[in-house]
Structure 1
Amino acid sequence: MQITSEKLIHTDVLIIGGGTAGCYAALTLRSLSDASVVIAEKADIRRSGCLAAGVNALNAYIIKGHTPQFYVDYAKKDAAGIVREDLLLTMSEGLNKVTKKLEDLGLVILKDEQGEYVARGTRNIKINGENIKTILADAVKKLDDVQVINHLNITDYIVRDNTIAGALGFDIRTGTAYEIRAKAVLCATGGASGLYRPNNPGFSRHKMWYCPFNTGAGYAMGIRAGAEMTTFEMRFIALRCKDTIAPIGTIAQGVGAKQINARGEVYEQKYGLTTSQRLYGTVRETLDGNGPCYLRTEGITPAQDESLLKAYLNMAPSQTLKWIESGKLPSQQNVEIEGTEPYVVGGHTASGYWVDTNRQTTIRHLYAAGDVAGGCPQKYVTGALVEGEIAAKDMVRQ
């Protein structure tokens, strides 16, 4: 792209990426200080990042009767011990607080007759989250001294003596080059998709689990600047509904659907119930000639049918449309499942920047939160919010 003009901006804090962690970091900064903030978002902050299409559950929450350590133990077991327990604990301790903040901002969280959040399993709660990203973006836009620059693609850090001084980028529409000088920088970009050939060929190549526009740019900037990274070999392969790439947790946990092979045999206990074991079992059964594999939904109740149709409209409407198009509800047909291509994403695995418990990287005053922060898998939406909050609080203390 041809550079058409140049702009120099000075700010106290630069946040790269207006997604989950970036928005919440800005909210935290302005609630605790008068620091000026610039958010550089390469898309549009109202519908950017992993929350763009919405979600139907918050997958990281401390359910009544459990503790933050319970969540740490779960994530550690699920990742075969390849975690930073200090990061998991500091993240887990803030999950319920940020959830309440989301509700205060307008997120609809489902409640039972006693007024308690409706749990989905032992770590999740149900929400109506189609508009979760717009809720965060609108809250940010109401803040004083926070400048959101949409369509600004940051490409390089400015680093002097291993201390961050700002970043460089360009407007993807006008070609304007930006130099943003800042006392502290938070990298809150997405992970990396598109590194491996997607399952769906041809015109459906964009049908992938993770946002195709999350290219790993945040990782690349850190590597080029000399920041220490961690656990990039820990890639995430999602187990998803075939064709639509819709998450299976809503079905598996929401209605208790078991994983079965083409012979109708329940195989999930045979291999184990961690995320990787569920995937491995599905691949193994297929290779052994027992595929295709399914989630057994045949025979669920009409109420459960309706619940699944509504739930996927909040997150993966293509799955609801597939049921409607086929003329068969979930109770009338099992849902075929398969694995996706691999991704490098710190929200589900431990890959990303090496950070301390304040989410500061090995470059002074450069922070990382959400999908780009390593060592802390299974953070999901609320965990990314917490990491943005943790980083912001440390910036205020500096």
Structure 2
Amino acid sequence: MPKISESYLNADILIIGGGSAGIMSAIRAKELNPEQRVVVFDKANVNYSGSIPRGMDALNIVAIPGESTVEGFVKSASNGREGIVDDNVSFAIASRSWELLKKLESWGVCFPKGESKGYEALTTHSKGKYTVTMKEPNLKTILHEKIKQTDTIILNRTMALELLIENGCVAGAVGINVRTGETIVCRAKAMILASGGAARFGLPDNGHLYGIYDCPANAGDSYYLAYKAGAELTGMECTVCYVIIKDINCPLLHITLTRGGKLIDAFDNELEVGKDNLTSALPVEHFMKHGGNIRVRMSHLPEKTIKSIEDIIFSTERPIVERFFKGRGIDFRTHDIELAPTEFYLCGGHGLTGVKIDEAASSTISGLYAAGDAAHGQGYLTGAFTLGLIAAESATSYASEKKINDVSASPCMEEIENFIHKMHNNKSKISVDEFEFKVRRMINNYVAPPKNEFKLNRALESMNQMQQELCDLVRVETTHDLIKAFEVRNIITCAILSASAALERKESRWGWWHYRSDYPEKNEQYRKHVIVKKEGGKVSTCLKDTVTMNFEGDN
């Protein structure tokens, strides 16, 4: 492993993560002030990183003027997450959605024509048509070309390890080059966390560490960084799991059910899924309780509709899926498509987990903002983009009134170097991959539902032990091993936060996602956030009221 070396730079705004939210934040920050210095840390390469590395088939949330309202989406979002979402954040996402669509269209993103103000819109929410179809297999490439037109400093292959905090304000971050092992200290006036959720959390049925539904680079980095900095997080107990095409990581429900497809159970009965719950825990709950075997049926659909579904799945969504079905002799016209659950994971965009933010994307740490799956908000791709815009605007305003804080990075650097040296000098025969496998298997055993007090306390006991054993027992020989060890550190921290939050929420909510066998019923006294944060070096939990908005005509 190369000798540890250091480099230093300053930024007005430092963005952690170059996926959909991060790259949109960088573009917007340079639009607002081309002179400010914007730096992006991305663990991969911004050209194809994040949960959407290539294309996408829809903007999931668009309040189309005259067709659907911002207020309607706020109500739908609250219904879909059983009240545990802040209305002001939902309002901010939806109120910028039409502007976002027009911006993307001006950049060359393809939106098929239809009857909703010239766009094709689908009903995926109870309060109206909010999903606007997109046919853009090169979405991330378009975004990358836009950022290349600016002088944004992009540090690819750079993972953020710790945030620098001074007097309760963000002051920068320490990162590491994932190939060379060089550490990078970036002092910044403002920061945006946008490095995704914790996709690598539970272990998938296939047993492969990286054979998961969401981006395998997303190992809970943002959650770890925010927690260590003292920021509040929420929704850590919401362990998300979806049903997708069995044996290949591809979604199907939104694409098919919105176009007339049917969800069929093992007894050939059609399952009714509410509009606000198309990809919710309901299909997962049925799968778990009735032994699996749920399917999507399209054989009754017109040929034109089936072809349109095939066009989306086989091109924009996942081109490899066409070969997958052909190899198995499966035709949508004659065969049902078997579904299976994903592994359990933590996510803001599709779930509820994330840094607690307000309508300005501000965290509870001054100068620290969050967007995308790193932030609580349940906004899907639209939320990643709009919160990215909002975070950039807030960070730009904040940075304009600040000076670079010449805070010492020595305490963080010392902690990082001790971690590196201890693992490098460890003579154990346990590899990082073997250790991660065990950590995630134990997350399946004790953190994932069905949950109860015994299991969750066992999770805390096990994860705290694993946290120590990571340094004492794991062999690190290369820089690649070292980066994976830092990721496992983050996964373990997320597991501890998730178990702690689940213990605080003494009820069952969101179907199977947070089902507690010792508290099997929903209890409305828990219609609140469960906040986790670091206090006195330990995990602290508490309940906090959600932000609700009242609109004209509400009862």
TM-score (norm. length: structure 1): 0.92
Provide closer, same or farther for how the CA distance between residues 199 and 108 of structure 1 changes in structure 2, counting only shifts above 3 A. same
Give 1:113 shift. 7.5
**C-alpha distance in 2, partners of 1:65/1:272?**
17
- 8 Å CA contact 2:298, 2:306 repeated in 1: no
CA RMSD of aligned residues (A): 2.1
Deviation at 1:350, TM superposition (A): 2.0
1:316-327 to structure 2, matched below 5 A, reads 316-327=318-329
Alignment of 1:379-390 (within 5 A): 379-390=379-390
SS where residue 211 of structure 2 aligns?
A: coil
8 A contact 1:250–1:311 mirrored in 2: no
The answer to which structure, 1 or 2, has the higher relative contact order (CA under 8 A, 6+ apart) is 1
Q: Which deviations, in whole Å up to 9, do the C-alpha atoms of 1:70-121 show, x marking residues without a partner?
A: 1111111111111111111111111111121111112111113797111132
Per the alignment, residue 372 of structure 1 pairs with 374
- Match of residue 139 from structure 1: 146
Say whether the 8 Å CA contact 2:80–2:276 is kept in structure 1. no
Please identify the structure whose Cα radius of gyration is greater: 2
1:256 and 2:257 matched: no
1:226, 1:211 → 2: CA distance? 26
Query: Offset at 1:228?
Result: 1.3
Alignment of 1:294-373 (within 5 A): 294-312=295-313, 313-373=315-375
2:155 pairs with one of 149, 152, 158: 149
Distance (Å, rounded) in 1 between the aligned partners of 2:275 and 2:113: 34
Q: Distance in 1 between matches of 2:320 and 2:284?
A: 22
* 1:2 is aligned to 2:2: yes
Alpha-carbon distance between aligned partners in 1 of 2:230 and 2:3, rounded to the nearest angstrom: 27
Q: Quote how far apart the aligned CAs of 1:188 are.
A: 0.7
Cα deviation, residue 341, structure 1: 1.7
Q: 1:253 to 1:165 in 2, by over 3 A?
A: same
Deviates further, 237-246 or 84-93? 237-246
The match for 2:544 is: none
Cα distance change, pair 115–234 in 1 and its aligned pair in 2 (3 A): closer
* Matching residue of 1:280: 285
1:23 paired with 2:23, answer yes
Calculate percent identity across the aligned residue pairs. Answer: 30
Report how many aligned residue pairs link the two structures: 389
In 1: Cα distance, 2:72 partner to 2:116 partner:
24
Matched, 1:180 2:186: yes
Q: Is the 8 A contact 1:199 1:208 kept in 2?
A: no
1:134 partner letter = T
Once residues 301 and 43 of structure 1 are traced to their aligned partners in structure 2, the CA distance between those partners, rounded to angstroms, is 42
**Deviation per CA, 1:111-170, whole angstroms, max 9, x where unpaired?**
1379711113222121122211111111011113x1111111111111111111110011
The residue aligned with 1:211 is 215
8 Å CA contact 1:250–1:308 kept in 2: the answer is no
Distance apart, 1:328 and its partner CA: 3.4
Give 1:3 shift.
Answer: 4.0
For 1:87-126, what aligned pairs fall within 5 Å after superposition?
87-112=89-114, 116-121=118-123, 122-126=129-133
Q: Residue 53 of structure 1 contacts residue 316 of structure 1 at CA under 8 Å; is this kept in 2?
A: no
CA change 1:11–1:295 in 2 (3 A) is: same
Distance 1:157 1:257, change over 3 A: same
Residues 29-67 of structure 1: CA distance to partner in whole angstroms, max 9, x if unpaired? 111113110111110000000111422122111245210
Paired with 1:349 and 1:175, the residues of 2 have a C-alpha distance of 33
1:55 partner letter: M
Conserved in 2, the CA contact under 8 Å of 1:244 and 1:318?
Answer: no
**Letter of the aligned partner of 1:218 in structure 2?**
S
Instruction: Kindly provide the amino acid, as one letter, of the partner of residue 214 in structure 1.
Output: N
Q: Displacement, 1:244?
A: 1.3
Structure 1 contact 78–276 (Cα < 8 Å) conserved: no
Residue 199 (1) aligns with residue 200 (2): no
How many angstroms apart in 2 are the aligned matches of 1:101 and 1:358? Answer: 20
Structure 1 residue 273: deviation in Å? 4.8
Name the CA distance, whole Å, in 2 between partners of 1:92 and 1:114.
17
1:38-57 matches, cutoff 5 A: 38-57=39-58
Work out whether residues 13 and 396 of structure 2, in 8 Å CA contact, stay in contact via their aligned partners in 1.
Answer: no
- Alpha-carbon distance change, 113 to 45 in structure 1, aligned in 2, over 3 angstroms: same
1:356 CA displacement: 2.3
> By how many angstroms is 1:276 displaced?
1.9
Q: Unaligned regions of 5+ residues in structure 2, if any?
A: 124-128, 399-555
Ranges of 4+ aligned residues in structure 1 off by more than 6 Å: none
Q: Which whole-Å CA distance do the structure 2 matches of 1:205 and 1:268 have between them?
A: 33
